[in-house]
Structure 1
Amino acid sequence: MSDRNRTLHVRIASTEETRADLRERVRALERGESPDEMLVLNLHNEADLARIVRPTTLELLRTIARRDPQSMREVADMVDLDYKEVHRNLTELADLDVIRFEETGRSKRPVVEFDDIEVEIPVSSDSAETDTASA
């Protein structure tokens, strides 16, 4: 990771909104523009967002980012939680693309590639109602 702060932008967006944003970024590239590099995580519902911002998850993310553990078991020891709970939480975060694992043999080293999380939650768009209802 570089010395500059990297922010993960998390937003709740419908599939169509996500596709429209992607199409606009492609058009910008075609015009010769260079869009800013961004880490963006588009979630389809608030339930997935809740998984990311719950206190235990934030503690795990902070521990990984600050202390660079070499395995899930080491994370569990650092936060003094049951290994099975940590394994479940970290696997869930990897499934949501919030963290990634570097595998060495049987060991999985969790990696956080951002310093901050910025959350965007729509409250007035139609997609917010639709996606929340489907959660």
Structure 2
Amino acid sequence: MTRTLHITIGTRPDRSGLEDTLAAIDEGEDVESNPSRLSIESLATFGRIFRPTNLKLLEAIVEHEPDSIRELARIVDRHPPEVTENVHELADYGLLELEDEGRAKRPTVWYDEFEFSGDVPLRGLDTGSDTPIAP
């Protein structure tokens, strides 16, 4: 069974369904009966959260199941403080969980795939830049 995280770009963040899904996982319940949705507030935030370095971290977590953030940093060949910052950002958005393993935090991912949906209007688009695009 494939576990899917449904992601949209919305006007304000909505992680309510995601919190329910994470609670269900903690209780050992079937998460597919409670689909999870994450609404990212802007295109700029979406681009920051899903930049290649973060996607590489998520992929490494799924493939290698590291016991700590330090081990994850070693796997992706990056400095632990940078990886820690990225991991905490991903955890803040519910894209991964940090489980206490003694003094270490073990990053885990509960889903198998993303599904992106929704409309991105071209008017009033929040790109995170105040610089106008030249014609």
Give the structure-1-normalised TM-score: 0.72
Stretches of 4+ aligned residues off by more than 2 angstroms: 123-126
Q: What's the counterpart of residue 133 of structure 2?
A: none
Percent of aligned positions that are identical: 35
- Residues 56-106 of structure 1, C-alpha deviations (whole Å, 9 max, x = no match): 111100010111111000000111111111001001101111111001232
After superposition, the Cα gap between the structure-2 partners of 1:58 and 1:134, relative to the gap in structure 1 and judged at 3 Å, is closer
Higher relative contact order (CA 8 A, sep 6+): 1
Q: Are 1:82 and 2:79 counterparts?
A: yes
Q: What's the counterpart of residue 122 of structure 1?
A: 119
Q: How far apart are 1:14 and its partner, in Å?
A: 2.5
Give the structure-2-normalised TM-score: 0.72
**What does 1:90-101 correspond to in 2, within 5 Å?**
90-101=87-98
How many residues align? The count is 113
Distance in 2 between residues matched to 1:51 and 1:133, nearest whole Å:
11
- Which segments of 5 or more consecutive residues in structure 1 lack a partner in the other structure? 23-34
- Which segments of 5 or more consecutive residues in structure 2 lack a partner in the other structure? 18-31, 130-135
Letter of the 1:89 partner, please give it.
N
Contact 2:9 2:120 in 1 (8 A): no
- Residues 20-68 of structure 1, C-alpha deviations (whole Å, 9 max, x = no match): xx8xxxxxxxxxxxx9531211111122211222111111000101111
Distance in 1 between residues matched to 2:127 and 2:78, nearest whole Å:
33
